[in-house]
Structure 1
Amino acid sequence: MRLLHTSDWHLGRSFHGVGMLDAQRDFVEQLLEVVRERSVDVVLIAGDVYDRALPGLDVVKLLDDALVRITDAGAKVVLTSGNHDSAIRLGFASRLLERGGVHLRTRVEDLDSPILFPLDGSEDTTARPDAPMLAVYGIPYLEPRLVAERLGTETANHFDVTEAAVQLIREDISRRRETGPVHSVVLAHTFASGGISSDSERDLSIGGLGAVPLDLFEGFGYTALGHLHGRQELAEHVRYSGSPLAYSFSEARHLKGAWLVDVGVGGVENVEEILWKAPRELAILRGKLTELLESEEYRWAESAYCQVTLTDAVRPAQAMEQLRTRFPDTLVLGFDPEDAAGRAKVSYSSRLADAEDDLGVCCGFLDHVRARPGDETELSALREALEAVRLEGAEL
């Protein structure tokens, strides 16, 4: 049996204000191509299928279309909810969807209720109770405050509720192995210790207390993790698939993809990486404005989404407008002047103390907040404004 481990689709998300629905449609097309060409039996989605608890209508339609086309291609779907999803809304009509091959695991009550797949080539899971089975379990994102009591834990933290969920699964596996061989796959939307995070993920808790130890997942045939957006291997059979698209510039160096997992009668036989084609390159540029606009070194970035940090000692006027003449998709602009340390030594209060008149105060403010003194046009405008205020005060 062949599984395709994905997660964190975040349908409906934007990238620094740029809509990504078309890019997400393109990802679905790539996924369908893999399902057909590699004969995938089950597509796993380990949470955060949506980016918001209340997704837009076009976003819901995209998921609906994706699920229909995946099942039409001959694959089943197992989907858990993540911290961005509304578990209740995503889990709506789960029993009905199951008849069409889409299995949702969004409720605590279903933690020890696996989806069973025969590994002997048969379709009927009840025909031979002693036949080797693949049991796929789903652990949705567990908000400790909401589920601790239902899971019987004394404290509401990520470790305790995840440990309780895993224990329920282990007990179910043990019962099933009394009648025949069972191999297990667990989907879990959580932050496992050792995982490398990126800027586009929502913190599960403060201070890293949301991380759960990796050994919680020992003994399972394969653990398909979701939440972290970088595809990574934490142990041989414990992996994050990562998000299919980059959702922050911190992911510029990620190779986006998924894991293709082959399971036979003896358990997991092979895990292979699958790579998705990125719709746009991400460019992180740093330097002086003139250098960025003129150097051939940056030609490759002209069609990329760009994050630019300018290091000019004096902040250039209309910097974004100038950058976009060469890099039209500059989305983030920052300033880090080379002499920033020297300028920081001059406090704003010192600038005010040195000002000789009201115009000096205004000019000092301009220089302080944008690291560039006013030009003649700006000085003229400030003079006129100050004169108008003076005349108005005189009339009163």
Structure 2
Amino acid sequence: MRILHTSDWHIGRTFHGTSTMDALAEVLGALVQQVRDDAVDVVIVAGDVFDSATPAGPAYTLLGDTLAALHDTGAKVIVTSGNHDSAARLGFQARLLRDGIHVVTDPRAVGTPVTIDDSDGPVHFYGIPYLEPALVRQHWPDAGLRTQAQTMAHAMDLVRAGMTAHGGRSVAIAHCFAAGVDATAGLEREVRQGGLDVVPLAVFDGPDYVALGHIHGRQQLSDRVRYAGAPLHYSFGEQHKERGSWLIDLDASGLACVEWLALPVPRRLVTLTGTLDEILSAANVEAHADDWVCAIYTDVLPQTEPMRRLKESFPHCAMVQHTPIGGAERAEHSYAERLKSAVTDIERIDAFLEHVRAGQGASARESELIREVLDERVAAEAFV
């Protein structure tokens, strides 16, 4: 059996205020073509289908179009809900979907497989929707579930019980933060809570393959436990992470091989660092005019209308940051402490300039002008 493992579509997410719907539709179209070209039997979507619990109408349209296109290839589809999804909204139409498309959102179904046969016999797919301990402990009141790790461990115990009852090959699908992953800072949110919500790798022992979602970059935790990541870049922190899916082959005895299938990137992401003039150099403009650009300019002083100037050369500049050279190496004393220790007006003015200029005090010419102004003030006050 040939399986495609994808996850974290986040339909409806914006990128710095810009809709990603068209770009995602392009990428998902390429994924459908891969399913057709590689004769995939089953497509797994491991959670976070939508970016919001209340997706807009176009998000439902894109999901429906993609599921229909996958179904038309002849592949079966198994979808689980993630922490961004509303399980109720994602699952309400499950009974209305055409045969061969399975949407797993009910925690009470954990341990009950979706069974799909091939020439070597049945393969049992155990979908685990995202399980929020506070919401699902009512279903298992005796389990004492307080953390994500405890909840996922209980769910996998149910999966292993199902494996014992049904026999044959098995695949588990879950959406969580597993131990050993490299997360994108500030992006994979909500399934966090420090070490309490990190699920140990040993929890996933048993199935022939474990398809995980939640982390946006591909991750291989073991030969049989992997994250596919998101099909589209959703932050500059992801710009160096490949986009794609895992192609898994199961033979009669279990996992046979796993291959990475890369997906196209509709628009590259790039971070440019330097002075504003350096970032706006002809070479940069030629190389990155069509890219999403994050500009980090290092001029000592803030520049006038940097975003406007950047957009004139980089129409898709999405982000600008002012990070002065040496800004992290400011004096240990706070501005208030420098003012307190200053004796003369010149020292007080210089402390102020250092504070607002990221450590850059008055230049020699500025010091001369400051002294002249102060001398004039003293002279004027002498005649009052």
Pairwise TM-score range, normalised by the shorter structure: 0.7 to 0.9
> Measured at CA, do residues 355 and 228 of structure 1 come closer, stay the same or move farther in structure 2, by a change above 3 Å?
farther
2:157 is aligned, of 161, 167, 179, to: 167
Counterpart of 2:224 in structure 1 is: 237
Q: Could you say which residue in structure 1 is the equivalent of 2:181?
A: 195
* TM-aligned CA distance change 1:335 to 1:267, over 3 Å: same
Tell me the equivalent position of 1:104. 103
Cα deviation 1:102-147 (Å, max 9, x = unaligned): 1111111111111111122xxxxxxxxxx73100010111001111
Does residue 143 of the first structure (1) align with residue 142 of the second (2)? Answer: no
How far apart are 1:328 and its partner, in Å? Answer: 2.2
**CA distance in 2: counterparts of 1:286 and 1:60, whole angstroms:** 39
Q: Which residue of the partner structure matches residue 147 of structure 2? A: 157
SS at match of 1:258: strand
Shift of 1:311: 1.0
1:184 & 1:158 partners in 2: Cα distance?
23
- 1:28 to 2:15 alignment: no
Q: Which runs of 5+ in 2 are unaligned?
A: 362-384
Bigger mean CA offset, 241-250 vs 306-315: 306-315
**1:255-294 matched pairs, under 5 angstroms:** 255-294=242-281
Aligned equivalent of 1:392:
none
Cα distance in 1, alignment partners of residues 328 and 166 from structure 2: 66
Question: Where does the alignment leave 5 or more consecutive residues of structure 1 unmatched?
Answer: 121-130, 374-396
Shift of 1:35: 1.3
Report how far residue 274 of structure 1 moved: 0.5
Show the counterpart of 1:304.
291
CA distance 1:113–1:96, change in 2 (3 Å): farther
* 8 Å contact kept, 2:47–2:129: yes
The alpha-carbon deviation at position 165 of structure 1 amounts to: 0.7
Matches within 5 A, 1:6-17: 6-17=6-17
Deviations 1:315-350 (A, max 9, x none): 222222222222222211111211325655574447
Secondary structure of 2:112's aligned partner = coil
Separation in 2 of the partners of 1:188 and 1:369?
Answer: 49
Q: Who is 2:375 aligned against?
A: none
Quick one: structure 1 residues 92 and 341, their matched pair in 2 at CA, closer, same or farther if it must change by over 3 Å? closer
Q: Does the C-alpha gap of structure 1 residues 342 and 150 become closer, same or farther in structure 2, counting only changes over 3 Å?
A: closer
TM-score, with structure 1 as normaliser: 0.83
Matched positions, count:
356
Say which is worse superposed, 327-336 or 50-59, in terms of deviation: 327-336
How many Å separate the matches in 2 of 1:285 and 1:170?
Answer: 49
**Identity of paired residues, percent?**
41
Q: What is the letter of the counterpart of residue 242 of structure 1?
A: G
Q: Which residue in the other structure is 2:4 paired with?
A: 4
Cα deviation for residue 290 of structure 1 reads 1.4
Q: 1:336 to 1:45 in 2, by over 3 A?
A: same
Query: What is the letter of the counterpart of residue 305 of structure 2?
Result: Q
Residue aligning to 1:132:
121
Please, which of 204, 212, 225 is the counterpart of residue 199 of structure 2? 212
Q: CA 1:236/1:342 → structure 2, altered by over 3 Å: closer, same or farther?
A: closer
Deviation at 1:296, TM superposition (A): 2.0
- 1:117 equivalent in alignment to 2:107: no
In 2, the alpha carbon distance for the partners of 1:345 and 1:175 equals 65
Aligned amino acid, residue 135 of structure 2: L
Q: Distance in 1 between matches of 2:68 and 2:135?
A: 32
1:272–1:165 CA distance, 2 compared to 1 (3 A): same
1:346-393 C-alpha deviation (Å, 9 max, x unpaired): 744478788999xx99x99898557699xxxxxxxxxxxxxxxxxxxx
Query: Deviation per CA, 1:196-245, whole angstroms, max 9, x where unpaired?
Result: 10132113132232110001111210000000000111100100000001
Instruction: Measure the CA separation in 2 of the matches of 1:144 and 1:247.
Output: 27
Q: 1:292 to 1:107 in 2, by over 3 A?
A: same
Q: Deviations over 1:143-169 (max 9, x none)?
A: 011112313321411111111111111
Contact 1:193 1:214 in 2 (8 A): yes
Counterpart-to-counterpart distance in 1, 2:326 and 2:152: 50
Corresponding residue for residue 317 of structure 1: 304
SS at match of 2:71: helix
Structure 2 partner of 1:58: 58
- Name the CA shift for 1:64/1:297 in 2 (closer, same or farther; >3 Å): closer
- Does the CA contact (< 8 Å) of 1:8 and 1:227 recur in 2? yes
Amino acid at match of 2:170: S
